[in-house]
Structure 1
Amino acid sequence: MKRRCYFIWLMGIVILFIIGLCVKMYEDKGKSASQVQVVAIREVEKEFVQYKEIWEGTTFPTLSVRDKEEQTIVFTSELKKPKLYVMWASWCSDCQRELPVIEKIYRTYKDDIDFVLIDLVGFRDETVEKALNYYNDNKFTFPIYFDVDQTVVNSLELKAIPTLYFVNSNNQIEKIFIETVDEDSLNREISKLANS
C-alpha cells in the first residue's frame, strides 16, 4: 500500500514537471514568435521610410490608366493642378477605412485638387468589376481609374496599399502616406497641397 501511494506521488510529481516544462516551452515559443513579429514589423517600417526618402521631392512619373469607360487616360507633368494619387484595392481593409475619409475630403477640395484614385487590378485577384461594385455600393463620387496592366505598380515600385501621394502643381511629390493615415493628418496635408 505504501509503495502504491509512493508510486502515485512520484507519478504526480513527474506529471507536474512535464506540464511545467510544456508550459515553459509554450511561453518561450510565444515570446520567440512575438519577437520575430516585432522584428518583421520594424523591417517593413524601415522599408517604408526608405521608400519615402527615395520618392518624396521627386517628380511624379507619367501614368497611363483606364477610366470607368475603359478609355486610356495619361496623367503627365503638364497638368498644373495639385493632385492626390491614391493606390487602392477593394479587398484592402486599410483602404476600406480610408476611402470614406477621402470621399469627404474630395467633396471639400475637388475644385482645388485633382483626386486620382487608382485601383490595382490583378493585385490579389482584384478586378475592375469588384472595384466598381465596391465603389458603387459605397456611393463614392471621387473619380476612379484602373491599373489594368500593372504599369502603375511597377512605375511606382509600390510597397503596400493604400499609398497616398500628395503631388504639387509642379508635379513634385511633397508627401507620401503608406498603409494608414489618420483623418487629421490627411486634412492637414490636403490643406497644405491646396494652398501651395
Structure 2
Amino acid sequence: MNKLVSIVVCLLVSCFVLTACSLLPLVSPSSTESTLQVNQPVTLDFSLKDKDGNDVNLADYKGKKIYINVWATWCGPCQREIPELEEVYQEYKDKEDYVFLSITSPKDAEFANTNPADVSKDEILEKASELGATYPVLFDTKDQAMTHFGIAAFPTHILINSDGTLKVSFAGQVQKDKLVELLEEMQ
C-alpha cells in the first residue's frame, strides 16, 4: 500500500512540475492581456539591460528579423531547449538581417520590476553559461517586456518580421527544426 501511495504522489508531483512553467502567472492577470496580433505592427519602444548594465533599445533593431526567447532559470522546458536554441543562434548570428535575443526578469533589489520572474542577474548569467548559451541575454528590469508582450508562461517565443509585424508568438518548448522553419518563413 505504501508503495502505491508513493507512486501516486510521485506522479502527481511530476505532473505539477512539468506543467508549472506554463501555468505560473508572471504578472497580474489584468496586465497579461497582450496587444500582439499576427501580421500587425509590434511596438518596441522600450529598453532592456544587457549583462554589463547597458541599455539595449529594441527599436534599434527596426528593419531586422527579430527572434525573442523569454525564459526563466527555474523552468525545465526553458533549460531543455537552450542547447538547441544555441545551435540555431550559431547558424544565424552572422546573418545581418536576423537578431536573436533572450529576455528574463531578474530579482535584484536595484531594479524596478515589481514582479520579477527569476533569480538574480548573476545567477541567471551563471545558469545561461552552464547550459551553453552564448546568445545575448537581456534583463527586463522594469517589467516592460513581460507586460508589453503579455508573458504568462515560460518559455515564450516571439518572432517579429523585418517590417515590424508579428510573425508568431507562442508559449512552450520549441524544437530546433520548428524554430528554423519559422525563422526561414520570416519576411
Whether the TM-score (by the shorter chain) exceeds 0.5 is yes
Q: TM-score, normalised by structure 1?
A: 0.67
Check if 1:149 corresponds to 2:134. no
Structure with more of its chain in helix, by fraction? 1
Aligned partner (choices 157, 162, 165) of residue 169 of structure 1: 162
Q: Secondary structure at the match of 2:67?
A: strand
Task: List aligned pairs for 1:25-174, cutoff 5 A.
Answer: 55-62=37-44, 63-76=46-59, 79-112=62-95, 113-122=98-107, 123-174=116-167
Is the Cα–Cα contact under 8 Å of residues 77 and 171 in structure 1 kept in the other structure?
A: no
The 2-side partners of 1:54 and 1:156 are apart by 7
Q: CA RMSD in A?
A: 2.5
The 2-side partners of 1:89 and 1:167 are apart by 21
C-alpha deviations, 1:5-51, integer Å up to 9, x for none? Answer: xxxxxxxxxxxxxxxxxxxxxxxxxxxx9xxx9xxxxxx7xxxxxx7
Q: Secondary structure at the match of 2:168?
A: strand
Residue ranges of structure 1 left out of the alignment (5+ in a row) = 1-32, 38-43, 45-50
Is the Cα–Cα contact under 8 Å of residues 158 and 169 in structure 2 kept in the other structure?
A: yes
Between the two proteins, the alignment pairs up a number of residues equal to 148
Amino acid at match of 2:131: N
Task: List aligned pairs for 1:10-21, cutoff 5 A.
Answer: none
Give the number of the structure with larger relative contact order, counting CA–CA contacts within 8 Å between residues 6 or more apart: 2
How far off its partner does 1:108 sit? 0.4
Structure number with greater Rg is 1
How far off its partner does 1:177 sit? 2.3
The 2-side partners of 1:87 and 1:131 are apart by 13
Residue ranges of structure 2 left out of the alignment (5+ in a row) = 1-11, 17-22, 24-32, 108-115
C-alpha deviations, 1:39-97, integer Å up to 9, x for none? Answer: xxxxx7xxxxxx79952222222131000110111111762110101111111111101
Q: TM-score, normalised by structure 2?
A: 0.70
Amino acid at match of 1:134: K
Instruction: Name the structure 2 match of 1:186.
Output: 179
Amino acid at match of 1:130: E
